[in-house]
Chains A and B, each alone.
Chain A
């Protein structure tokens, strides 16, 4: 049996373990949250190194993409460098393939994304592939990167402006402690009421809200039937979204035993299946494997 473990800076309350069979291989997939404790995450990564088939890094990004430029998040890289023998991924490779495909799938197979759909991406630099796919399909886009990460009420509406601002800001911003830019640990279980009040209108004006679940959740006001496109949702998350008035939940990663895992976990599973050195894996390898696995987004109507 192959073992894949996701080590996350997120809450340990979201820990989960399943056994599944994929392309004839048995997998034990588990997630281990460290409640925002960076040192504990490093220690756990060192313990797992060489003992499991692949590791995913959760609750943090290592690589952010804007256009063709890749930005390295310093704290994420520190975690990645703690692992020497086992392949380790952060989900960014899969975000660039699976999440693009998800957007095209929704256009083709559902009525959730007609041309001109107003889409709020709470953060787009961590999901640039998805942002490009929305833009290509003629959606009206609002990127909330400055709004939610920096509290600046400046909506970005084009991929070009996103790239321009990323080039100016990310080389330095990625050196800051990650918790200053993204909710980690206990912050993932609460909402930022001040920002909900101040910026909630961006959610209400949108028809589709997309992006990292913890960011989506943290700033979410009462909704009116909007579609949420995200991943990594638990049964509690689904109940939360229903209570907030979301109309539909789309998760980009498949559901295993009632839970959609993060892209980092799924990418780690694909790496374990591919059995190629990490640096030799191409986006096409992921796409081919995703087709063989027949992964499709999960669409759940909430009302």
Chain B
């Protein structure tokens, strides 16, 4: 089990990876979204916000989310550190993403662009 602080640290690593990738920022200029990241086994909520291609992270839940990412704390930390890809846990049900199918593909895409092969 990962702690709330470990999830925070993984999300900050994700943010750093994103912000270093200029091409990714260009690709997401049109995609303003609020993402709630919620652990299922510990009380831990974070907000990822994409606005004009920039990604920000903060602790706590947003008033309204376009996408909700739910998994156990360990999977969330592994995922945002890039130790695992979202595809496997998404396919086996460990990772639940609530939102439109287009947005899910796009979130997967961002993760692969940061951590992919």
Query: Contacts A152-B27, A153-B30 given: A168-B106 contact, CB under 8 Å?
Result: no
Q: Mark B76-117, 1 if CB is under 8 A from A, else 0.
A: 000000000111100100000000011011101100110011
Complex Cα distance A169/B114, Å?
A: 10
List residues of chain B with CB within 8 A of the CB of A152.
27-28, 31, 106, 109
State whether A175 touches B88 (Cβ < 8 A): yes
Least distance between B24 CB and chain A CB atoms (Å):
9
State whether B116 touches A151 (Cβ < 8 A): no
- Residue among B27, B30, B91 making CB contact with A146, cutoff 8 Å: B27
Q: Say whether A39 faces chain B, with CB atoms less than 8 Å apart.
A: no
- Residue among A153, A171, A175, A181 making CB contact with B105, cutoff 8 Å: A181
Q: Please count how many residues in chain A sit with their CB below 8 Å of the partner chain's CB atoms.
A: 17
- Residue among B30, B106, B116 making CB contact with A172, cutoff 8 Å: B116
Complex Cα distance A169/B106, Å?
A: 11
List residues of chain B with CB within 8 A of the CB of A180.
101, 104-105
List residues of chain B with CB within 8 A of the CB of A168.
112-113, 116-117
Complex Cα distance A262/B113, Å?
A: 33
Q: Mark A129-169, 1 if CB is under 8 A from B, else 0.
A: 00000000000000000100111111000000000000111
List residues of chain B with CB within 8 A of the CB of A154.
23, 26-27
Least distance between B90 CB and chain A CB atoms (Å):
8
List residues of chain B with CB within 8 A of the CB of A146.
27, 109
Q: Say whether A176 faces chain B, with CB atoms less than 8 Å apart.
A: yes
Contacts of B23-58 to chain A: CB distance below 8 A? 23, 26-31
Question: Can you give 30 contacting A-B residue pairs, CB < 8 Å?
Answer: A146-B27, A146-B109, A150-B102, A150-B105, A151-B102, A151-B105, A152-B27, A152-B31, A152-B106, A153-B27, A153-B29, A153-B30, A154-B27, A168-B113, A168-B116, A171-B116, A172-B85, A172-B86, A172-B87, A172-B116, A173-B108, A173-B112, A175-B88, A175-B91, A176-B91, A176-B108, A180-B101, A180-B104, A180-B105, A181-B105
